[in-house]
Amino acid sequence: MRLIVTEKNIAAKKIADLLADTKVKNDKVYNTPVYRFETDGVEQVALGLKGHILGVDFPKELTYSKRGGWNAHWAEGDNTTAELAKDLATPPWKSNRRPFTKDGLALSSWSMSILPYLIYAPVGKYPAEKDLIRSLKSLAKKADEIVIATDFDREGELIGSDARNIVLAANPDAVIHRARYSAITKQEITHAFDNLAELDDDLAQSGEARQDIDLIWGAVLTRYLTKARFSGLGKPRSAGRVQTPTLKLIVDKEAERDAFIAEDYWVLLAELVADSGEAFVARHTTNHFKVQAEAEAAYQNVNSQVGKLDGASITTVDAKKRATKPPIPLNTTALQAAAAAEGLSPARTMRIAESLYMNGLISYPRVDNTVYPASLDSKGIFKELEKVDEYRSYVQALLKKPLRATRGAKETTDHPPIHPTGAGSQAKLRPEEWKLYNLIARRFIATFSDQAIYEDTTLGIAIDGEAFVSKGTVLVSPGFRAVYPYGARKQEELPKVDEGDTCAVDAVTLDQRQTKPPARYGEGGIITTMEKLGLGTKSTRHSIIQTLIDRAYVQVKDKSLKPTMLGVAVIDALSTFADPIVTPQMTANLEDEMLQIAAGDKQRIDVVNHSRDMLDEVMIRLLDKVDEVSEKLKDAAVADAKVGTCLTCGRDLLVRSNLKTRGQFVGCAGWPDCEKTYPLPQGKIEPLEDVCEVCGAPRIRVIQFRTKPIERCLDPECETNYEPTIDLGECPVCRVEGYKADDGEIGHIIGQRNPKTLKRFARCTAFDQCNVSYALPGRGDIEPTGEYCKTCGAPEVVVRTARGPWRICIDMDCPEKVEAAKAKTKAAKRKAKGKKPKKAKPRSKAAPKKRTDAIAESPPGS
């Protein structure tokens, strides 16, 4: 039997489908899905991992003895020797309070005192996916050959190496090979399995070095900043060797903007009309008048010509053609930058790209290469793209001539640049998937297309002795621009005029403007800068940006990255007391050393130890300045946490964290003297500048997942936060049991929204007797129908959302819904096994049931 090990379950299924000569059988080994099939009469089993099945961590405790030195005690029960820096203090300690023990230290503590030991503590591996590892071992014992088919990059090689070690522990005689592929297509996968290779141990060691270094730096710096923070405000403060210098770039750009002093200037424009009747605009050749008097004098001169048919004369006509080369092939950085311009964040771009890759529509999306290899079947790819209506005409034109592609500066041999591998369908893909696929497909076509030819025209114009100029650009030969519109500049067509012609002056305007500060980084721009400076890798840069946003160090404002006060404070503190950690050079040097491991020129242990020494130098400075760092973070945390002013005492209202529930609430900075607090709904909270017109409390914007942001008063008791209740109809239980509300009528189901949590629910007016309540959809307008579910008797409503109206029974536990869900699950399983679905049996009506699962969200005063 041959065992195929992939990085994810979906990859295992896809590869099985592509290799199988027989029908693929879905099976399970313990709880792990596997796919059984035959190829050329050989039994094969494909199993997908869940990324890293081994995690990395520090030992739970270090102990010391004079004879044996340091020993590490691991969570799994093993003990190993440990090499720590010789200048670290050893037991006996002056105090045996945690983290200190009688003969060592507990490394799980976040105490500042253990950080010097954590820097040099050994890093070990533990089984992160125990059930999956058990399944892998079970299959490995029965296998004659094992093929590692994880993604071919540094991380994938490490995952494959870990899997190989697990396999060999279960079956020491197993024959192990490596399948390398760049796309999940029939041709690529077949070629990979026909040309099996060996695992690249140097590449795996490079990946393991990165894993170790990131754990050490992240754990030490995160614990330091979290312990130094102002308690009760915000979340734990993380930092890392790549995250921190990246944040420094964003903070420095903001400092440039803050230091920028705007200057006034004046622009003189003339609106002209040619003899043909075409209007165009000319600008004074003094592009920016810096002296107002000079601008006004020029304005007075030309304004006298307004209304004259020959007020302006054409002095020169200069027309030149220029060629714009087609774009080069896409690597990961270029893809993220191009997608960011289309509104997709780098993190989202990579999630979508991974989905497209797994579905065989694009090649491997994590690459540095910008040169198509000679082995790339360009003609075959174009034949696939010819099936897509949107590209057919462009592709057919290209196939009539030799295919020659542009080349970028980076050429590697692991994977080709990102390109389409299958025919995508706008009807079958989600909108964001089609947007990214369309970008990749059009970019690929463009790299084989002709250059675009533009004609640039510059007109020299005289108006009463003042010199003006008008510039236009027209696309005369589209070339690649016919298929690739991304990043194209707007065309400005000028009228056809000759030297000596005159034009009418329709209007003259003098605009006062100000110089603008340097633009902030966009998500695409920061990714490109990180690549230039050697910060991170193609696989990690997008996640680093997302981490900065998630940690509230950076916020996205008008599609650009703006540091928060806290982000500025973190960089200020680290720059002041440990400058090397925020500069790109230290991180870039470590990145270069990890590349040398992959090339076989350095050993992992040497690079990891070098990084420990670098971190130790940094922490010596930081540990001596804890109080100063804490003060810097405190002021910034207060500034970022402020949502308004307390109506009771006039002090700041701050977003605080509940350390027990991990929830957030708003509390007064004057606590405990002032106990004013407000609850906060789940989601991201942004303060608004204006206050509530009714009660005077601050107003906030609440951003919840997949919902339109809501702006509301912070006080849940304010009348502006109440929504009208909706009578959805009679209660099914009260109708049967005869329960009545206080008004003497049969209980009715009333829909309402809890102003504290923003969740919607429905409750019977006779709830004390029938205990009937329902959760309602959080989105959309709800309209009662006056009709009731024939199965459970609950009211039916219409929910109107952007996707259209939906008619539903409001009882989520309605037997009809439960049965439908079960039937859907069974049908999916039968479809996976290739069986025809059974016909549904007639369903009998069920009597309304009495509910006892009242929801927790109650309206105020209930």
Catalytically active residues, by annotation: 364
What torsion, rounded to 10 degrees, do the Cα atoms 780, 784, 785, 790 define? 100
Q: Confirm if 422 and 357 have CB atoms less than 8 A apart.
A: no
What is the C-alpha end-to-end distance of the chain, expressed in Å? 66
Burial level of 463, CB count in 10 A (0-12/13-18/19+)? buried
Any alpha helices (H) in 234-390, and if so which ranges?
A: 243-259, 292-303, 332-341, 346-358, 378-385
- Give the Cα separation of 441 and 448 in Å (integer): 12
Angstrom CA distances, 285 to 61, 267, 512, 514, 781, stand at 74, 10, 16, 18, 57
Angstrom CA distances, 221 to 242, 465, 605, 616, 777, stand at 12, 67, 21, 11, 42
DSSP designation for 721: G
Angle at 674 between CA 671 and CA 680, to 5 degrees: 75
Q: Confirm if 326 and 481 have CB atoms less than 8 A apart.
A: no
42-48 and 104-106 beta bridge pairing? unpaired
Q: What are phi and psi of 823, to 5 degrees?
A: -65, -40
What torsion, rounded to 10 degrees, do the Cα atoms 399, 401, 406, 411 define? 70
- Give the Cα separation of 396 and 393 in Å (integer): 5
Tokens of 797: 């409503």
Helix (H, G, I), strand (E, B) or coil at 804: strand
SS (H, E, C) 416-467: CCECECCCCCCCCCCHHHHHHHHHHHHHHHHHCCCCEEEEEEEEEEEECCEE
For the stretch 149-170, what's the b/e string if a residue is b when 16 or more beta carbons lie within 10 angstroms of its beta carbon? bbbbbbbbbbbbbbbbebbeeb
Q: Confirm if 655 and 671 have CB atoms less than 8 A apart.
A: no
145-148 and 175-178 beta bridge pairing? parallel
Q: Looking at the chain, how many residues does it have?
A: 862
Q: Tokens 């959309």, residue? A: 780
Tokens of 340: 């960011």
Angstrom CA distances, 710 to 679, 782, 799, stand at 16, 17, 19
Run of H or E residues at 684: strand 684-691
Q: Tokens 């994590």, residue? A: 366
Give the residue among 54, 330, 32, 51 at the shortest CA–CA distance from 215.
54
- Give the Cα separation of 279 and 222 in Å (integer): 61
